[in-house]
Amino acid sequence: QQQVKQSPQSLIVQKGGISIINCAYENTAFDYFPWYQQFPGKGPALLIAIRPDVSEKKEGRFTISFNKSAKQFSLHIMDSQPGDSATYFCAASGDYKLSFGAGTTVTVRA
């Protein structure tokens, strides 16, 4: 049973465009929501994270929006660059473990 549902599975965006990835969760005990970026052959790298008492967090071109009542959160990548082409995973933390979404492959066309 997948505890975190992520969409879309893949997306293509033009350079300079906005990429949006959405995640939904069911377990209200989750208390930390990170996003990871993974390049082929590498381990996931922590990109940005949010706790449920905050509705939005921005770091550079990356923004997390969090809707506690809807149990949804999303990642916005502004001014997308070819170097952003990677697989992105949302996750939720609870009970000393991370539950991951299935991943979104983002391709940025120059």
Partner 1 sequence: KAGVTQTPRYLIKTRGQQVTLSCSPISGHRSVSWYQQTPGQGLQFLFEYFSETQRNKGNFPGRFSGRQFSNSRSEMNVSTLELGDSALYLCASSFTQQGDEQFFGPGTRLTVL
Tokens at 50, concatenated: 């949010």
Binder among 11, 19, 21, 34 for partner 1 (CB under 8 A)? 34
**Interaction of residue 48 with partner 1, rule CB under 8 A:** no
| Segment near partner 1 (CB under 8 A); pick from 10-18, 21-29, 71-79, 86-94 | 86-94
**Interaction of residue 44 with partner 1, rule CB under 8 A:** yes
CA dist list (Å): 59 to 25, 26, 40:
23, 26, 24
**Residue 84: CA count within 13 A, CB half-sphere:** 27
**Interaction of residue 102 with partner 1, rule CB under 8 A:** yes
